[in-house]
Each structure stands twice: as structure tokens, then as C-alpha cells.
Amino acid sequence: MTARIIDGRALASGILERVRVQIAELSPHPLRLVSLYIGNDEASAVYIRNQQRSCQRMGVQFDLIHLDASTTEEELIARIQDLNRDPEVTGILLQRPLPAPLHHLRIQSKIHPDKDIEGLNPANIGAIVYGTPKLVPCTALAAIRCLLSTGVPLKGADAVMVGHSEVVGKPIAFLMLNFFATATICHVATQDLAAKTERADIVFTAVGKPGLLTGDMIKPGAVVIDIGINQVPLLDAEGNPTHDEQGRPRYRLQGDADFDSVRKVASHVTPVPGGVGPVTVAMLLHNTVLAARHQAGLPTDPVLDPQSVQS
């Protein structure tokens, strides 16, 4: 068996085309995202540039508020409350990580749930638990969209989530429960991980450990959704690390799954890069449209309706 590769770029393209139509339907309601960036984290800066480009392509206004690392929690919350009250602001992004001693959960909870396009406000996480998802964390939503694109039946399926973060692992597990799958969450204290994954019909992994999941750890025909993104050294033909013209080490991206061995056993698998990642970016804009419709009092399609997202 050779797994079908889930093409995240193609899936994202289809989602964005639908989003483009929905944005046009919202006219004359302009969409505006405001990104709060505190400090100078380099990874956040890269993410912000990607967000800007994505918004520009879709005709969404993107405003960046860059605050000094010395910004207090009270000052940041005051900014958020101003944005909550501004009727021209569709969505608010809080770039992470936050510099110490800012407390992410306390600050994220101050973003109004209807403007929380990252789906991280406790109210939006709670809506998933209650089976009424509204704005879902983008990466979790992207992973489920990738899964739904396979057409694999979810009702009664055994699903294993490797990783238990509040923004990926736990939301995915509850979303799978909403589809009447049986969900198991594994984490750093799980004993005999392979015993859990080799019985699963669906395996998600999001722990940031390259090569963690191998082909002998999964059931033949299982679906593997690899959410991990890891930088690993790029080696030459002799297995030695390579360097660029400036002498800096070269890297390549790799997921948590050992792609070559997993592909020989699974029925479907997401590649890294080109799998969940592009869909995550599309989900940010998808959530922006949902937020705009909520704020305008317009009806919305059910979130994660399998009939509307299968390809």
C-alpha cells in the first residue's frame, strides 16, 4: 500500500476561493484584522509577514500594532478593549509568544469571542466542548479539514491525538468526539505510545519531535495527519551537515512522522511541508469571514460540516 498524499496547498486554494466569494458577499462590510505584536520575537515577525501577504491577496485590511516588550498587562488589555469596541475591527490577533511576565491566557480571554479569529478565547474553546463550535483554533480546524477531505468515515472510528496542547491537541480530540469518533489523547507521560497508535484508524501528531511516528506504529490503512513542524539539518550524500555561503547550517522542514515509512502503511498522510500548514493559513481567513458574519448578524454555515468540505 502507498498512501494518498493529502495536498494541503490544493485544499487551501479551494477554501480560499470560497472565502473570496464570501468576502464579496459581505460588501459593503470591509474586513479588518488587527495584529498585536509585543516585543521582537523573530518567529512572530515571519508569521506576521505571512499573515499580511495572505490578507493582501484576499483584499482584507491588515493593521499591525507593534508594542514595546515593556508593555504592561494593563496597557495591553486596554488596547484590546479599545479594539473590541471598535465596530470597524473584524478580528484581533495576539502574536505569541508574549514577553514575560505577560500572561497569555488572561490576555487572550480579554479578546471578544466574536473577534477572536484564532479561536483561543476560553468561550470559543468551551463551545467546542459543548459540541457547538463557532470560531475554532486555526491549526486544529485545518487538521480536521485535511481529515475530512479524505472521505474516511469518522463515526465509530478510533482516533489518537499525540500531543495535548490547549490550542491543537485538546480541540482536535473534542472535535473528533463531536463526529462520534472515539478519541484518545497521548502526551509525554503516555506509556507505550505504539500500543495506542497501532490500533487507531486515525492518528494526529503535534509534538515537535521529528520521526516520532514510524510506519510500524500505525495500523495498515490508517489516516495520518502530521501537524508537527521541525527544522532538521540538511545533510549531504555522505550524511554530513551542509552550510550556505555564509557558513550557516542548512535546514529542511520535517513533521513528527517518518514520512517514508508511514507512507508505505497508511491510506492517507499529510506531508510536511505542504499539508496542514497551508490549510492553517486559509483557516485564519475562513475564521475572519465567520467573525464578520457573526458581527453583522448574518447566518453562517455549520462549522466543520463534512458535506461542505469533503473533496
46-67 pLDDT, tens digit per residue, is 889 989 999 999 999 999 999 9
Q: Which of 3-17, 179-193, 295-309 has the lowest mean pLDDT?
A: 295-309
Q: What is the pLDDT of residues 196-218, one digit of tens each?
A: 999 999 999 999 999 999 999 99
User: Is CATH 3.40.50.12240 the right assignment for the domain spanning 136-279?
Assistant: no
Residues sharing a CB contact under 8 Å with residue 246, sequence separation 6 or more, in sequence order: none
The CATH T-level fold of domain 16-115 is: Rossmann fold (3.40.50)
Task: Please say if the pLDDT value at position 311 is more than 60.
Answer: no
Residue 246 is predicted with a pLDDT of 84
Q: Which of 127-136, 171-180, 238-247, 298-307 has the lowest mean pLDDT?
A: 298-307
pTM of the model: 0.92
Residue 305 pLDDT level (bands cut at 50, 70, 90): low
Q: Which of 142-156, 181-195, 222-236, 268-282 has the lowest mean pLDDT?
A: 222-236
Mean pLDDT value across residues 162-190: 96
Domain 16-115 identical in fold to domain 136-279? yes
Residue 303 is predicted with a pLDDT of 63
Residues 36-75 as b/e (b if ≥16 CB within 10 A, e otherwise) read: bbbbebeebeebbeebbebbeebebebeeeeeeeebeeee
Task: Please say if the pLDDT value at position 306 is more than 60.
Answer: no
Residue 270 is predicted with a pLDDT of 98
Domain boundaries, the chain: 16-115, 136-279
Residue 308 is predicted with a pLDDT of 43
C-alpha pair distances (Å), 294 with each of 23, 91, 114, 133, 286 = 13, 11, 7, 13, 13
Mean pLDDT value across residues 1-28: 92
The pLDDT mean for the chain works out to: 92
Residue 273 is predicted with a pLDDT of 93
